[in-house]
C-alpha cells in the first residue's frame, strides 16, 4: 500500500513539473515571467526589432519590454555579462513616434515606466546603459547590441475535439438521421 502512495506522489510531481513554464531555448534568460534573448550583434533600432520578430526562436519576440526598475537592473547586469561590456548601451523596446508623443512599447501600449538619465529626452528611440540601467534617447540608426523578449507561456498539452451539436448545420444533420 505504501508503494501505491509513493507512486501517486511521484505521478503528481511529474505532472506538476510538466505544467511548469519554460523559455523556448535553454540560452534564453527567464526573469519575472518573461524570457529575454541577449543578442550581441550591433544593429540599428528597427533592424534589431526585425531581428527579434524574425530570427529568434520565438515568433512572438520583440525588443525588450522594461516595465520597472527590477527589469532594468536585471537587463543591465545580464547585458554587461552577455555583451562583455563594462560601459555602453543596448537597445530596449521603447520608442515614441514623434517628440510630441508619449513613449510606447513595441506592442503599441503606452510605457508608464520611465528610467531616463536626462529629464527631457530629445530623441525618440531608447537605449539602456549597462552601468546603471538608465535610459537615453539616441538616433535610431545607431548600431547597438540589443535584447529581445517574449512573454512566458506555460508548457501544456491540449486535446482537440469538437461537439457537432454546436455547428450551424447540426439541425440539418440531425433531421437527416431521423428521416
Question: Considering the entire predicted model, what is its pTM?
Answer: 0.73
The dihedral through the CA atoms of 51, 107, 76, 22 has a sign that is: negative
31 pLDDT above the threshold of 70: yes
For the record, the C-alpha cell of 122 comes out as 530629445
Taking phi over 0 as left and psi of -120 to 50 as alpha, with beta for the rest, 70 belongs to alpha
Which CATH number does 38-152 carry?
3.10.100.10
The per-residue b/e assignment along 43-55, b for 16 or more CB within 10 angstroms, e otherwise, is bbbebbbebbbee
As beta bridge partners, residue 34 has 31, 151
159 pLDDT above the threshold of 80: no
pLDDT in the model for residue 178: 54
Tell me the pairing of strands 104-105 and 89-95. antiparallel
Distance CA 118, CA 168 (A): 60
Render pLDDT for 72-110 as a digit per residue (tens, 0 to 9). 999 999 999 999 999 999 999 999 999 999 999 999 999
pLDDT in the model for residue 119: 82
pLDDT in the model for residue 4: 44
Confidence grade of residue 179 (pLDDT, cut at 50, 70, 90): low
Q: Which of 21-30, 106-115, 128-137 has the lowest mean pLDDT?
A: 21-30
pLDDT in the model for residue 106: 96
- Give the residue with greater pLDDT, 119 vs 57: 119
pLDDT over 90 for what percent of the chain? 63
Render pLDDT for 53-79 as a digit per residue (tens, 0 to 9). 998 766 689 999 999 999 999 999 999
150 burial via Cβ count (<10 Å: 0-12, 13-18, 19+):
buried
Q: Where are the alpha helices (DSSP H) in 110-156?
A: none
Amino acid at each position: 500500500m505504501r508503494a501505491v502512495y509513493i507512486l501517486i506522489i511521484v505521478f503528481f510531481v511529474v505532472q506538476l513539473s510538466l505544467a511548469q513554464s519554460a523559455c523556448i531555448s535553454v540560452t534564453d534568460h527567464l526573469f519575472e515571467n518573461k524570457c529575454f534573448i541577449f543578442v550581441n550583434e550591433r544593429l540599428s533600432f528597427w533592424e534589431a526589432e526585425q531581428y527579434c520578430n524574425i530570427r529568434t526562436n520565438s515568433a512572438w519576440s520583440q525588443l525588450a519590454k522594461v516595465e520597472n526598475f527590477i527589469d532594468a537592473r536585471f537587463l543591465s547586469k545580464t547585458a554587461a555579462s552577455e555583451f562583455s561590456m563594462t560601459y555602453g548601451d543596448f537597445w530596449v523596446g521603447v520608442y515614441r513616434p514623434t517628440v510630441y508623443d508619449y513613449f510606447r512599447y513595441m506592442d503599441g501600449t503606452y510605457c508608464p515606466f520611465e528610467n531616463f538619465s536626462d529629464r527631457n529626452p530629445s530623441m525618440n528611440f531608447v537605449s539602456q546603459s549597462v552601468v546603471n540601467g538608465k535610459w537615453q534617447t539616441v538616433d535610431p540608426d545607431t548600431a547597438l547590441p540589443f535584447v529581445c523578449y517574449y512573454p512566458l507561456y506555460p508548457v501544456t498539452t491540449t486535446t482537440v475535439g469538437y461537439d457537432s451539436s454546436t455547428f450551424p448545420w447540426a439541425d440539418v444533420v440531425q433531421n437527416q438521421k431521423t428521416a
